[in-house]
């Protein structure tokens, strides 16, 4: 088998701008051109997905760049079919780079006779020929255990910490990190530790899915610049309501840092009209035109951390080193 010389990238249609950005960053790090493998990923008239790879990938270390965001089913099938095409083309190793892992919210049985779809998707990815998964901020940490292959889960909190330290450099002493629910306390605490800020919680109770009965603030937010941190923002109902409650309890400003901006339905309109001063998301999901045009939504790049993580996997060096702000700082220098 030929020696693996360079990592090769191939992208589906889910987030081409991010795929191109990752290739550009890898070119910068490597000091030579790193491009996307020439391939076509298209649909027949009946919406069947077809993949054809135009370059030789025999014995190569392949990285498929494809978040499984909306439309989740189409993007997931693209990922699976690309993996099968590469496996049948004798690629030496196939790594799925999934910035946003769809179906992650179906990670357990909440009621009788419901599926654990995250596990089903994990099985499908493995069976398609993927040998490693690289993702960011899984909705639940146990999803890593659903796979029988290595899973590297990157975190957005070091990127958020760098951005907060830059944006609030003159008033860091007034910043307070907020968890929008009890289940997200660990994530919020991690960010709070990184920026040396206090922590508060908004406890919400639902009468039924999609409706929030009441919210209680646990902690004193009076005079604070509150930063709500979470992994997913879908319709933004909870987020905007939490911002209102925090302002009612004496907060001077409310900002939100969310890893995956799903932002479906009325989300953009709600965020635009809300009391939140800013919503910061990453580009793990391709931004729609309304998201890109929203005046109080800002997008942070993930290409630098993904490019470095891919190179670390290829080199056989530590991926967890990217969890440290000291390591990530130089990678994001001049970007944030």
Tell me whether residue 204 is one of the annotated catalytic residues.
yes
Helix (H) or strand (E) holding 17: helix 16-30
Tell me, rounded to whole angstroms, the distance of Cα 145 from its chain centroid. 18
- Residue ranges for the known binding site for Mg(2+) are 139, 181
Q: HEC profile for 95-153? A: EEEECCCCCCCCCCCCCCCCCCHHHHHHHHHHHCCCCEEEEECCCCHHHHHHCCCCEEE
Q: Residues forming the annotated binding site for ATP?
A: 46-48, 105-106
Q: Do 189 and 199 touch, CB atoms closer than 8 A?
A: yes
Report helix, strand and coil shares of the chain as percent, to nearest 5: 35, 25, 35
Which residue out of 119, 193, 204, 273 is catalytically annotated? 204
Binding site members: 46-48, 105-106, 139, 181, 206, 230, 234-238
Q: In Å, what is the CA distance from 130 to each residue of 50, 61, 120?
A: 18, 11, 14
Cβ atoms of residues 31 and 85 within 8 Å: no
d(CA 89, CA 83): 10
**Separation CA 98–CA 95 (nearest Å):** 9
- Cβ(68)–Cβ(120) under 8 Å? no
Residue 266's CB is within 10 A of a number of other CB atoms, namely 13
Strands of the 175-179 sheet, one edge to the other: 211-218, 199-208, 175-179, 225-233, 253-261, 278-282, 297-300
Active site residues: 204
């Amino acid at each position: 088998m030929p020696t693996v010389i360079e990592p090769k990238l191939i992208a589906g249609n889910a987030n081409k701008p991010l795929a191109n950005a990752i290739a550009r960053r890898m070119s910068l790090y490597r000091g030579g051109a790193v491009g996307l493998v020439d391939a076509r990923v298209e649909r027949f008239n009946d919406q069947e997905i077809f993949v054809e790879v135009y370059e030789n990938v025999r014995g190569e270390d392949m990285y498929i760049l494809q978040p499984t965001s909306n439309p989740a089913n189409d993007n997931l099938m693209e990922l699976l079919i690309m993996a099968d095409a590469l496996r049948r083309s004798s690629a030496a190793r196939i790594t799925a780079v999934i910035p946003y892992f769809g179906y992650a919210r179906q990670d357990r049985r909440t009621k009788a006779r419901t599926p654990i779809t995250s596990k089903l998707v994990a099985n499908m990815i493995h069976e398609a020929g993927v040998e490693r998964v690289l993702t960011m901020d899984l909705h639940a940490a146990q999803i890593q255990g659903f796979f029988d292959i290595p899973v590297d889960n990157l975190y957005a909190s070091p990127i958020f910490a760098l951005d907060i330290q830059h944006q609030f450099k003159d008033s860091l002493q007034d910043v307070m990190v907020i968890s929008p629910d009890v289940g997200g306390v660990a994530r919020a605490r991690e960010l709070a530790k990184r920026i040396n800020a206090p922590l508060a919680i908004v406890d919400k109770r639902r009468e039924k899915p999609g409706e929030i009965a009441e919210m209680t603030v646990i902690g004193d937010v009076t005079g604070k610049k509150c930063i709500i941190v979470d992994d997913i923002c879908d319709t933004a109902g909870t987020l905007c309501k939490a911002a209102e409650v925090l302002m009612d309890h004496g907060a001077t400003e409310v900002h939100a840092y969310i890893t995956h901006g799903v932002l479906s339905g009325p989300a953009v309109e709600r965020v635009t009209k809300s009391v939140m001063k800013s919503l910061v998301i990453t580009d793990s999901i391709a931004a729609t035109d309304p998201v890109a045009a929203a005046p109080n939504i800002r997008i942070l790049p993930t290409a630098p951390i993904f490019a470095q993580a891919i190179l670390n996997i290829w080199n056989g060096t530590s991926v967890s080193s990217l969890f440290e702000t000291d390591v990530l700082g130089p990678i994001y220098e001049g970007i944030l």
